Amino acid sequence: MKFTVTRGLVAAAALSLYAFAAQAQENPECIAPANPGGGWDFTCRQVGKSLQDLGLIDKTMQVVNLAGGGGGVAFAEVVNKRTDDNSLIVAASSATATRLAQGAYPGNSMDQVRWLASIGADYGVIAVAADSGIETLPQLLDTIKADPSSVSVAGGSAVGGWDHLKVLIAASAYGIKDVRSVKYIAFDGGGEAVTQLLAGSVQAFTGDISEAKGFVDSGDIKVIAVLSPERLPGEFADFPTAKEQGVDAIGANWRGFYAPGGMSDEAYDAWVSKIGELYASGEWKEVMAANGLAPLDLQGAAFQEFVAGSVAQIQSISKEIGIIK
């Protein structure tokens, strides 16, 4: 009799947990901390669509674009106003870790939220307008060397952010001694940065391959370097790496999600499980291949540890190039 009661209690608890997790995600929402068109926007929209297509969520994921402060406005919103929201996830990336590493979200730290899971890594690119006379990365960097004021590079992160760091890493690898001479202009998201490139306001763009893909497909821009160890497969195989052009620069932008710090363990575990199932699916492998995402499969505590390591590494790089003391 005792066994029967105990088993019944366990079953009831399991059903309660399932019901709680399902209720918590009844109205799923994803905050993209930038304007439409950038990598965070892609992360929210593509993951939301895929979760629904796979039956992992019942309702359409509401995507809210909350731009500002290189992700700081969204981070503050979650920490200060929505700390116990079990239905909310937020797109994050190396750019988020960069801002946290540099103390750019005043009064905030990575420990104030819960890190859910990664969905892959997105290699950085440097691109120019399709009609630009610049054809190679060395050609762009030689122009910067000769006259730094003649080239403005646009990116979707703030000054000192991950997009900025990528072009500085390339400049340093090419022998530009004072990388602070590289003229970088920050915009709220990769989409806006590319718009300024097409308008002729800037001469180059630094971002991620998922951000650039649509603009390459439309014939608006050309990628002059991918910051990957070797050429990417499939439709990205035509894009030259920085390394093969003599510039030993690698920049991989991980993509994933964080959740409010006060999210319940039940809801957190449910989200981790859902994103893990998504990542393991054949459908997501196709999405990764189509958008240039490289493998990065981390969930829960493993992802939390990875982000902590990423923050520490970026702090070290930022000190080296004088962005922080």
Evaluate if residue 14 carries a pLDDT over 80.
Answer: no
Q: What is the pLDDT of residue 22?
A: 52
Q: Are 225 and 301 within one domain? A: no
Position 90 in a domain: yes
pTM for the model: 0.74
Percent of the chain with pLDDT over 70: 92
Evaluate if residue 171 carries a pLDDT over 60.
Answer: yes
Position 325 in a domain: no
DSSP 88-102: EEEEEEHHHHHHHHT
User: pLDDT band at residue 234, thresholds of 50, 70 and 90?
Assistant: confident
**Which of 218, 252, 286 finishes a domain?**
252
Lowest mean pLDDT among 136-140, 169-173, 261-265, 278-282: 169-173
**Which of 252, 286, 307 finishes a domain?**
252
**Which of 206, 228, 252 finishes a domain?**
252
Evaluate if residue 60 carries a pLDDT over 60.
Answer: yes
Evaluate if residue 21 carries a pLDDT over 90.
Answer: no
Q: Are 38 and 147 within one domain? A: no
Q: What is the pLDDT of residue 9?
A: 46
Evaluate if residue 139 carries a pLDDT over 90.
Answer: yes
- In this structure, what token pair is assigned to residue 116? 């859910």
User: pLDDT band at residue 162, thresholds of 50, 70 and 90?
Assistant: confident
Q: Are 128 and 241 within one domain? A: yes
User: pLDDT band at residue 10, thresholds of 50, 70 and 90?
Assistant: very low
Q: Which residue has the higher pLDDT, 180 or 242?
A: 242
CA distances from 221 to 38, 39, 129, 168 (A): 15, 17, 4, 21
Distance of CA 303 to the CA centre of its chain: 14
Mean pLDDT of 299-306: 96
Burial class (CB in 10 A: 0-12, 13-18, 19+), 262: middle
Position 116 in a domain: yes
Q: Are 24 and 110 within one domain? A: yes
Evaluate if residue 232 carries a pLDDT over 80.
Answer: yes
Evaluate if residue 73 carries a pLDDT over 70.
Answer: yes
3-state secondary structure of 32: strand
* Most confident among 20-34, 146-160, 205-219, 271-285 (mean pLDDT): 271-285
Q: Are 236 and 281 within one domain? A: no
Q: What is the pLDDT of residue 25?
A: 62
Q: Are 202 and 181 within one domain? A: yes
Mean pLDDT of 113-126: 96
Q: For the chain, what is the mean pLDDT?
A: 90
Looking up residue 269, the CATH number of its domain turns out to be 3.40.190.150
Q: Range of 33's domain?
A: 2-121+253-320
Q: Are 49 and 132 within one domain? A: no
Evaluate if residue 286 carries a pLDDT over 50.
Answer: yes
Q: Which residue has the higher pLDDT, 293 or 279?
A: 279
Position 230 in a domain: yes
Evaluate if residue 68 carries a pLDDT over 90.
Answer: yes
Q: What is the pLDDT of residue 235?
A: 83
* E strands present in the chain: 29-32, 62-65, 88-93, 113-129, 152-155, 183-186, 204-208, 221-226, 252-260, 293-294
Looking up residue 145, the CATH number of its domain turns out to be 3.40.190.10
Evaluate if residue 52 carries a pLDDT over 80.
Answer: yes
Q: Which helix (H) or strand (E) holds 167?
A: helix 162-173
Position 312 in a domain: yes
Four-CA torsion 262, 105, 126, 139, nearest 10 degrees: -160
Q: Are 101 and 51 within one domain? A: yes
Evaluate if residue 158 carries a pLDDT over 90.
Answer: no
Our count of domains for the chain comes to 2
Q: Are 272 and 201 within one domain? A: no
- How many CB atoms lie under 10 A from the CB of residue 243? 19
The answer to whether 126 and 206 are in contact (CB under 8 A) is yes
Q: Are 316 and 248 within one domain? A: no
Q: Are 135 and 183 within one domain? A: yes
The answer to whether 221 and 129 are in contact (CB under 8 A) is yes
Q: Are 246 and 257 within one domain? A: no
Q: What is the pLDDT of residue 160?
A: 83
Q: Which residue has the higher pLDDT, 315 or 25?
A: 315
User: pLDDT band at residue 180, thresholds of 50, 70 and 90?
Assistant: confident
- In this structure, what token pair is assigned to residue 155? 């990116």
Position 194 in a domain: yes
Evaluate if residue 178 carries a pLDDT over 90.
Answer: no
Evaluate if residue 3 carries a pLDDT over 70.
Answer: no
